[in-house]
Amino acid sequence: MSGYDDAYAEWRRDPLGWWMEAARGIAWTRFPGTAFDPGQGPFGRWFPDGRLNTCHNALDRHVEAGRGDAVALIWDSPMTGQVQRFTYAEMLERTAKLAGALAARGVSRGDRVILYMPMVPEAAIAMLACARLGAIHSVVFGGFAAAELAARIEDATPKAVIAASCGLEPGRVVAYKPLLDAAIGLSPHKPEFCVILQREQARAEMVEGRDFDFAAEEASGQPHAPVEVAATDPLYILYTSGTTGKPKGIVRDNGGHAVALHRSISMIYGLKPGDVFWTASDVGWVVGHSYIVYAPLLAGVTSVMFEGKPVGTPDAGTFWRVCADHGVKLLFTAPTALRAIKKEDPEGAMMKRHDLSRLEALFLAGERCDPPTAIWAAEKLGVPVVDHWWQTETGWPITAGFREYGLFAPRPGSGGRPSPGYDVAALDVQGNEVPRGQQGALALRLPLPPGCAPTLWNAEERYRQAYLSTFPHFYDTSDAGTVDEEGFVWVMGRTDDIINVAGHRLSTGQMEEVLASHPDVAECAVVGAADALKGQAPLGLVVLKAGVQREEAEVARELVALVRERIGPVAAFKEARVVPRLPKTRSGKILRATIRKIADREDYVVPPTIDDPVILDEISEALSR
């Protein structure tokens, strides 16, 4: 058996013992005597009698172990032209002082604090300062619309808001403070005070008696010691858009989260203290929470925080420049970032300008990576490219390749095999496992491992309905795919991305894979548009690579023929449209549901997470031609 097979079998034999051993990697004020209590919460709670502090584990214990001079965080901001490095000792000093300032204004264990911040070091410091006090932080994407921010203020009822005066986007400055003021005006709950990080690009007007300057607060704060909390106490709330319109507050606990993330750093990513890890995401997303801030610092790793874009700050070589400048050992990004880079630099010429000898692997997540993009990256970089699958709710990877056990041979299109702790099954509509290799609804056998969301904020029944009611004894991921004979998981899209064409259930992800293999295509999306005869018909939207000068109709004909050749006439794929760009969230996920509504001429709400709303007008125009 392989190292992975041994590890997974060991977890299978004694799941509770496996996680208790993993818990020894964390510093506890009271080591848990019980691994799991099935009677607590919707599916049970991990380490219910353990006590600890997450900030102490992320900062203090490294300083106490003599690693205070090691670099904890590198901030690289092409938006401002700045690079700053912070040691563990410096991060501890700043975090402890900010925690003291918050405590002096009344923030204590269990209070909520909303953070409305761009990609600046103070965002990580604010998260850690809340964790230090046992306060529950909720990071809202900087620049989120006032109504969306207001809904989160209303639901979380924070004692305080920590915000920046502005965020920076290529070619523009986004003022945050007017949005915050409007959100507080809209919300029936009013925070007691706000702490504002003044950025020189757009300084904010302060409300007398309510708003306080971040730098002044930190400077005057008395260092605060870590507050002991229960392992089951919430560390943070992270809101995702709910189907009812009311945001879902994903809760993350302290104990299970620390254990799972600490274990994942070595098991999945193969990193050790002192290694440089760059997760090219945003702290507003779960990826930023888990792998920019918490997991690297829990493991004593150096984390890179990047304020920029994969293209345009200044060009498609910026990722490779960051890797070379900081000696990045492992890069973790979204497939959409790679596709954007590939579109601008298909031959990888900008990649060749930089010394990437210290880069050992590239990990991808956020949405399934189409095989052509994964193959392109592997060929150009000459390192393993590992697609792995997880969700906001799980907090860490469900499936992956495992550097600690030796990576699997590349299988572009697969998310890897399950991490110890996860038992993945493909189920039919009755909840029965389908034969290996057949498509079904991907589900996780309960209980979920440590690190997964144990509930929703003040909405335990909603949690049960959303995740546990579809299939008894399973968590419903709402993703569709297959588990093959060797246990590799292939995620083909959300279950609502399975379209029904004249009674045939077809995967839009499979069609996207074919479209992406065309040499002229940089990005694509396939949705099921309403069809009077067949119920639904697949519609493909493609973005062409930079420099491609061809008749759009000719490319469309080739794409239709390609799908017919690779999948067959059953796909009924007859329409492909060339568009200038695809609508995405700021994390890079393509807004397929919105595209489908535009195609069907249905009313739609502009998603608050969209990167640029103008794209929706472009899509509408392209589909009306």
Residue 80 has pLDDT above 70, yes or no: yes
Which whole number is the average pLDDT over 474-503?
A: 84
* Pair 544, 520: CB distance under 8 Å: yes
Please give the average per-residue pLDDT across 411-423, as a whole number.
96
Residue 601 CA to residue 186 CA, distance in Å, equals: 31
Average of pLDDT values for 585-611? 82
Name the pairing type of β-strands 302-306 and 172-175. unpaired
- 89-98, 407-416, 607-616: least confident range: 607-616
- Quick one: pLDDT at residue 620? 87
- The listed range with the strongest mean pLDDT (15-19, 141-145, 238-242, 310-314) is 15-19
Token representation of residue 426: 């493909």
Spatial CB neighbours of 554, under 8 Å, sequence gap ≥ 6: none
Tell me the pairing of strands 51-52 and 276-279.
unpaired
Whole-angstrom distance, CA of residue 609 vs CA of residue 295: 25
Write down the pLDDT at residue 205: 97
Instruction: Answer whether residue 307 shows pLDDT above 80.
Output: yes
User: pLDDT at position 496, please?
Assistant: 63
Q: Give residue 87's pLDDT.
A: 98
- Which is more confident, 574 or 218? 218
CA–CA dist 547, 151 (Å, integer): 44
Across residues 30-35, what is the average pLDDT?
98
Give CA–CA dist 196/214, Å, rounded. 5
Q: Give the closest residue to 210 by CA, choosing from 187, 190, 193, 191.
A: 193
Task: State the pLDDT confidence band at 179, using cuts at 50, 70 and 90.
Answer: very high
Residue 500 pLDDT more than 70?
Answer: no
Contact 285, 423 (CB under 8 A): no
Q: Is the pLDDT of residue 498 over 70?
A: no
**Per-residue pLDDT band at 20 (split at 50, 70, 90):** very high
Predicted model pTM: 0.86
Find, among 340, 343, 350, the residue nearest to 546 by Cα: 343
pLDDT at 507 (0 to 100):
72
**Structural domain spans, the chain:** 3-37+44-308+388-481, 502-624
Task: Copy the structure tokens of residue 61.
Answer: 């214990």
pLDDT average, residue stretch 265-271: 98
Sorting pLDDT into bands at 50, 70 and 90, what band is 437? Answer: very high
Q: What is the pLDDT of residue 1?
A: 45
| pLDDT for the residue numbered 245 | 60
Nearest to residue 607, comparing CAs of 617, 596, 593? 593
Alpha-carbon distance of 476 to 425, in angstroms, equals: 10
Query: Can you identify the CATH homologous superfamily of domain 3-37+44-308+388-481?
Result: ANL, N-terminal domain (3.40.50.12780)
pLDDT at residue 173 in the model: 95
pLDDT at 428 over 50: yes
Dump pLDDT digits (tens) for 290-303: 999 999 999 999 99
137 vs 156: CA distance, rounded Å: 9
| pLDDT at residue 90 in the model | 98
Region 139-156 average pLDDT:
90
| 501-550 residue pLDDT tens | 655 557 787 788 889 999 999 999 999 888 776 677 899 999 999 999 99
pLDDT for residue 321 is more than 80: yes
Q: How long a stretch of residues is the chain?
A: 625
Determine the pLDDT at residue 48. Answer: 98
Minimum mean pLDDT range among 191-200, 386-395, 558-567: 558-567
215: nearest Cα among 200, 198, 202 = 198
Encode burial over 313-332: b for 16+ CB neighbours within 10 A, e otherwise: beebbbbbbbbbebbbbbbb
Report the share of the chain in percent with pLDDT over 90.
Answer: 78
The per-residue pLDDT for range 210-251, each reduced to its tens digit, is 999 999 999 999 999 999 999 999 999 999 865 556 789 999
Which among 621, 232, 264 is positioned nearest to 454, based on CA atoms? Answer: 232
CATH 3.30.300.30 correct for 502-624 = yes
Mean predicted confidence (pLDDT) in 113-137 = 98
Kindly report, residue by residue over 280-289, the tens digit of the pLDDT: 999 999 999 9
Which 3-state string (H, E, C) describes 433-482? Answer: ECCCCCCEEEEEECCCCCCCCCCECCCHHHHHHHHHCCCCCEEEEEEEEE
Residue type, 362: L
